[in-house]
Amino acid sequence: MRRGGALQTPDAGAVRADGQASGTRELARKAEESKPDCPLKGEETSPMAAAAPTPSPFVASTRRFAPRLRSFFLPAAAMPPSSAPNPSSGAGVEVPQLPHSTLEVAGARRGLLSGFASLRAPYSAFPVLASNRHVETIFAAFMRSLPAVKLRRECLRAPDDGAVALDWVSGDERALPIDAPVLILLPGLTGGSDDTYVRHMLIRARSKGWRVVVFNSRGCANSPVTTPKFYSASFTGDLRQVIDHVLGRYPQSNVYAVGWSLGANILVRYLGEETDKCPLSGAVSLCNPFNLVIADEDFHKGFNNIYDRALARALTAIFKKHAHIFEGLEGEYDIPKAANARTVRDFDEGLTRVSFGFKSVDDYYSNSSSSDSIKNVCIPLLCIQADNDPIAPSRAIPREDIKANPNCLLIVTPQGGHLGWVAGDEAPFGCPWTDPIVMEYLEYIQNEKNSSTKNNISYGQHSAPETSVPHLTVHVQR
């Protein structure tokens, strides 16, 4: 990340962006926003409605101005086709092409990517916005459109009496076949179903006939907090329960998962813990920090301090909404430090590392990284990273372990920032460049699974009884 006095990344010099003051103020302001709670009362079921977010007039205008921006910056003649016919072959006959050379691709099964139309063209980042990794990161966070979707929420009670929230697409329980593939989405730190990158992936998967559910960690996206314990990069218990719950509800379906940032770290750790017993059929990891020690080192350098403070504000905002639950805690807890944390490290030192039994925050980071889990992954896993990601450093990617594991694939883009990837047909306001690739990969694995098991599947069964779930609270949201 930072080398000497300039802020840059390995093999990709990023221009220093300390002058982006307005973006900084916006980023900090977002972290202070809070929303009403979604309470969970014991094991009772109670319907309740959550207030819908006020539509932004800017979002509507993006659809109108996006084509003009694209035509201005990317003339039609410069737009690369999704595939190229072989001039020496017959008319209209196309030949398979490997992913374009602008991408770093690694993994034993990288050949399967040759069939992906979305990977044949050069990675072409949107001009101006991609000139600086911080500009791209902040633009995507605040200017990307937010697709409208009606969600139905389940609050799932954990064995320790905690709770997480699952947001399903409303009506899908009736609209989709009982054996439709299920996709679980894991947002990043403090993220949830209202984040733009989550919504875009949800909409794309749903348009392909997939059943989609967003896993909101404790306290995130109004997920209730019922015990003095949030979540951490190391804790996979809640994800394990969510996956078991989804499999119990849809036993005829293949279940997949996509995680971003911290959600990706948790997901990959889970895959490594489950090894060959993993019930998932496939997974995708995006913007994974992989090595939290390295990520923490870079988090305190240059402009990255802005992200650090913003995420700390988001964490403390969630904490303060539930501060009464943490009153009277004894032992090594430093509640004032967590409540007034100015950095993520402060919050983790005061609360997270104690809640999950680590000796120090450094012990927490070194033992919560997902880089060591890659070697134990036994299901298809696609990892997509940006070489200039300011929060998930490129040097932390476990490239050799990914290459050595026949189940893993890696794609590294030259640009993208963190959760940005402002590129592709829908740039600058639409979905991230990664979404079509993620969906092509998941559909490939799903077709592969169906092909290998078609002789054992009974297509005559049209319904299956749902498992009893008395520990749920259900309400309609957004």
Decide: helix, strand or coil at residue 49.
strand
For 474, the token pair is 């259900």
Nearest by Cα to 43 from 162, 152, 157, 159:
157
pLDDT at 67: 52
Give the pLDDT confidence of 141-180 residue by residue, as tens digits.
999 999 999 999 999 999 999 999 999 999 999 999 999 9
In 272-359 the beta strands, taken as DSSP E runs, fall at 282-286
Is the pLDDT confidence value at 15 over 80?
A: no
Distance CA 251, CA 173 (A): 14
Give the pLDDT confidence of 388-442 residue by residue, as tens digits.
999 999 999 999 999 999 999 999 999 999 999 999 999 999 999 999 999 999 9
Of 105-119, 270-284, 462-476, where does the model show the most confidence?
270-284
pLDDT at 453: 72
Give the pLDDT confidence of 235-290 residue by residue, as tens digits.
999 999 999 999 999 999 999 999 999 999 999 999 999 999 999 999 999 999 99
In 288-426 the beta strands, taken as DSSP E runs, fall at 381-386, 408-413
Give the pLDDT confidence of 328-360 residue by residue, as tens digits.
899 999 999 999 999 999 999 999 999 999 999
- Alpha-helix runs per DSSP H in 100-195: 133-143, 172-175
Nearest by Cα to 7 from 432, 420, 417, 421:
417
Among 124, 223, 234, 261, the one annotated catalytic: 261
Give the max Cα distance, the chain. Answer: 77
| Confidence label for 9 from pLDDT (cuts 50, 70 and 90) | very low
* Other CB atoms within 10 A of residue 426 CB: 18
Is the pLDDT confidence value at 59 over 90?
A: no
Comparing 36-45, 218-227, 253-262, 450-459, which segment has the lowest mean pLDDT? 36-45
Q: End-to-end CA distance of the chain, in Å?
A: 39
Is the pLDDT confidence value at 5 over 60?
A: no
> Interior CA angle at 130 toward 125 and 133, to 5°?
130
In sequence order, what are the beta bridge partners of 153? 167, 475
Mean pLDDT estimate for the chain: 82
pLDDT at 98: 64
The residue-averaged pLDDT of 122-149 equals 95
Q: Identify the residue whose tokens are 């909101």.
A: 216
Is the pLDDT confidence value at 315 over 80?
A: yes
Is the pLDDT confidence value at 317 over 70?
A: yes
Distance CA 416, CA 419 (A): 7
Residue 135 · residue 428 · CB < 8 Å:
no
pTM of the model: 0.80
Among 371, 418, 435, 475, the one annotated catalytic: 418
pLDDT at 452: 81
Nearest by Cα to 243 from 179, 166, 178:
166
- 394 tagged catalytic: no
For 332, the token pair is 């090594």
Of 5-9, 60-64, 100-104, 208-212, where does the model show the most confidence?
208-212
Among 296, 298, 346, 389, the one annotated catalytic: 389
Distance CA 73, CA 85 (A): 26
pLDDT at 75: 45
In 187-330 the beta strands, taken as DSSP E runs, fall at 211-216, 255-260, 282-286
* CA torsion angle 101 107 113 119 (round to 10): -30
pLDDT at 381: 98
Distance CA 443, CA 3 (A): 41
Please provide residue 224's backbone torsions phi and psi, each rounded to the nearest 5 degrees. Answer: -70, 150
